[in-house]
Chain A
């Protein structure tokens, strides 16, 4: 196809970065050959480890810096510790982590209540803004949730009988 800049002059920068020599794609990697040295590379100083840090079993050691936010604790923390016995290839690694995430939501609620803080769920979920911009959608969501709840209650009551 014969393409000329003229046809696309309304688009600033058209074709400015084109390089037909690169096939099939532009290089993202500046090849240095250092890959063959494996893990023998210069490293920064080691950040002091003052918290419990879960390490991927696919690494020989912790990284030189790491995040220190929310160390594992409680039941969710125990599940996370279990998860980190398995490599990132295993479903036994990831499913427990998702389970721990969900359990920690309840632990978070309990912790809030323990320190005398009652979370404002309406504000945290942004329902005010949803109501402001999407009242119909919100009514629909509430109706669906209520109907589902009602159906589940009815089914459970029937089973009990």
Chain B
């Protein structure tokens, strides 16, 4: 089968690889129909995540048709068209039972701090991902969800990560009616977080980025205010100014470890890798939120640590909420939002590329070429 193959930082190719096999009675083999490149895949592509092994296949956002099931799989049958949450979860451990499907304890031998994610390094479990024609899906009775008949497959693939992560960013932020929400990062997750923030009734949603085309897109899609931080010498001061010198009620970090905007963070985090990437967005979030405000983090940071203003968290009495999205917990509500027409996730997709051209697709997304917001890879075996 054809699969994306990581060869080192900024180097990927697609090539023939062995077909995945059932390795556990609760596994399924899924023929991939659509698979996205996520902004967090770029952290792998850029060599930022430790234990990203050469020869791995990335891809944690995918839909597909069930081709084979293990002997203990009961909820899925061959031929089902499913969307597969990016977290691999057993459904039985204490964390899963409490709804923390992103923190399952029985799918990642290599790390205890990280749950298990398809195609996201050995630090996240060492599973191959969905940027391939076929993929092994463990705990097939838990995560995969049959795509409703009336749902567009492109909406479905966005429900595997982008929508739940964006929604959970807003949910964790504890937004109250009338609040001012500031979202850092106008990538797909940031745009979705800004869009979902409205579900909680704020008065203002503001998005901050450095790319004008993304800000313009966000403004239209998420109906929010959009500002380019490059236009302001001090983005934190600017946010204070536009919030009546009070600070935002909540801030959402939807950037993670590859943020621009602070040369010290960029140099120590991205160039020297002396910290787990550049924490500029988180620093700005902590410093822009009001006293007693909430900072919600969905931007991905690698281990082991980052430079953030911990003293300000204490002195301002900030609540920090963060987690990988618990996709399975959120799916029923989000499917309803999509079916009711309140969310149109597929509108974020700007590029549809054959799986064979994955290397170009990664470069396109990484270099922000051709006004790229979201790329979907389509295997030739999709139908």
Question: A residues bordering B, Cβ < 8 Å?
Answer: 1-3, 8, 10-18, 20, 22-26, 28-32, 34-35, 37, 39, 41-45, 47-48, 53-56, 58-59, 62-70, 72, 76, 80, 84, 88-91, 93-94, 97-98, 100-102, 104-105, 107-108, 119-121, 123-130, 133-134, 137
Contacts and interface: CB of A to CB of B under 8 A. Distances in A.
B380 interface: no
Interface residues of B, number: 89
Contacts of A91: 304
B138 A65 contact: yes
The DSSP consensus for interface residues of chain A is: loop
Contacts of A137: 367
Interface in B1-37: 7-13, 23-27
Nearest to A5: B201
B200 to A, nearest CB: 5
The DSSP consensus for interface residues of chain B is: loop
Contacts of A10: 223
A94 B53 contact: no
A59 B369 contact: no
Nearest to A123: B359
9 contacts: A11-B198, A13-B340, A18-B175, A25-B319, A34-B98, A63-B105, A63-B108, A69-B53, A124-B13
A3 B178 contact: yes
Nearest to A42: B92
A50 to B, nearest CB: 9
Interface stretch (B120-128, B153-161, B253-261, B306-314): B120-128
Contact of B9 (A22, A93, A105): A105
Contacts of B92: 41-44
A121 B113 contact: no
B178 A130 contact: no
Given A18-B199, A18-B201, A69-B55, A124 B177 contact: no
Contact of A66 (B108, B273, B294): B108
Contacts of A30: 97-99
B11 A124 contact: yes
A81 B367 CA distance: 35
A58 B303 CA distance: 15
Given A63-B105, A69-B56, A119-B13, 11 more contacts: A3-B178, A3-B201, A17-B200, A30-B98, A34-B97, A65-B23, A66-B109, A70-B54, A125-B363, A129-B363, A130-B367
Interface string B86-99: 00101011100111
A68 B11 contact: no
A130 B111 CA distance: 36
B193 to A, nearest CB: 14
Given A18-B176, A32-B98, A108-B55, A54 B360 contact: no
Given A18-B177, A126-B363, A12 B304 contact: no
Contacts of A104: 8, 53-54
A134 B362 CA distance: 15
Contacts of B333: 17
A91 B52 CA distance: 17
Nearest to B353: A129
B172 A107 contact: no
Contact of A80 (B51, B98, B116, B127): B51
Nearest to A48: B23
A3 B200 CA distance: 12
Interface string B168-203: 100111111110000000000000000000111101
Contacts of B108: 63, 66
A53 B109 contact: yes
B172 to A, nearest CB: 6
